[in-house]
Structure 1
Amino acid sequence: MSKKILGISLSIVMLLLLSLGTYKAEGDRVVEEENSISTVTIEGIDCNITVEESDNDNFQYNYDTNIFQVSTTKSTLDDVKITIKTKENAEPQFNDRVYIYIPTNKISKLDVISSNAAIGLAKINTELNIQNNEGVVSFYAFQGLTNDINYTSQNGVGTLKIVKEANNYSFNLTNDASVVSIPFSDYKSFSSRYIHKEGEGSVDINIDLQESVFSLLLDV
């Protein structure tokens, strides 16, 4: 294991555990009305974020406005980008984070970019593309998942939790100089490529790692 990978895994493992948990939201809530959207992009920069499905047809944000800056831009193609970062001179505590609630029934695709950010993604059932750059990202494969997940990581830490009811997916791993924990019995440590299929495998879960730390957890 390189010193760089070891440093990442030790310094942000607690943030990884935080992003997998459920925490009380604090701060101000802002609701935005939106029509159908093609792609939503969420970019987190040096902060903690939790993304969940909205309980209505609106985007909702819950965060401390004294600590975080959240900006939303909309393109002419009805794509929306949400950028979250810590305000200059702000000193967030360990539990400070931004909660984002998205109406998944209104979007076609969710792109998530972590730039040294800890991002926890709840059970989001839409096409999901994750780019992890020196951050921490946790996400799920759950019963009823019908959309593909694509995860790429460069010098980052990631965790995928597959719940026991998920039974129709193909797990595809590409690994370059990374530390990987896979509980499937046919997985060989340090494999550069690995495929595991459940059921018809109609949902693709594609994991592409470069100098990263990644764990697959099974909810049994």
Structure 2
Amino acid sequence: MSGRGRGRSLFTFNVDCLGFGRGEALPSSAQAPSPLYPPMQFRPVPLQTGEEVEYMLALKQELRASSKNLPFHIQPSAPKKDVGRYSDKYQTGEAKRGEWTPDWSRLPKELCIKVQKSRKAKTKPVVKSKKKPAAPKELLQKLENLEKKEEENQSEEEEDEKKKKTGEEEEEPDDAEGYDEEEFEEETDYIMSYFDNGEEFGGDSDDNMDEATY
């Protein structure tokens, strides 16, 4: 089937871009295998060896291992199982990471965590006023006043006792007289004679003799 219109070229792009002109023959296809790696123009520097380099390498590995055990290290989330089993919580998994306690001596004071303690109501101590030492004249006057008060109290007590004694002595003779009268009556009770001829006995019954009987 022939094409319509003008003739078309074999390639859809410009061959001149590839470095070939019109009418020139195309390069032959390579039949040998290509080299594995191109030749290196710049070779790597040989590794340094020695005690200092090994010490730095050990520190680097230790820092990497300790950073993984810190609490702020992000770990990949473990894939969840479709069905949860009762024995899963008893299985020993990875060791739990402890709480991180930073070295506050290397950090500024502004970052230190301060725990506020509950303040208790403090009672102010009672300050006792110091008494000034009294003068010797004032002491003598106080002692004299105390002696006078004691003497007055003693005199009042003695007067009260005297009044009580005099009141008791006045009451005692009255009691003695009354007691003697009672004894006298008891003693003369058997001596005095009583005589009754019986005439007055039954006097009321004689007055009622004249009344009618039924």
Fold agreement, TM-score > 0.5:
no
Greater RCO, CA 8 A, separation 6+: 1
Q: Normalization by structure 2: what TM-score?
A: 0.14
Q: Of the two, which has the highest radius of gyration?
A: 2
State the TM-score, normalizing by the size of structure 1.
0.13
Relative to its length, the structure with more strand (as a share) is 1
Larger helix proportion of the pair: 2
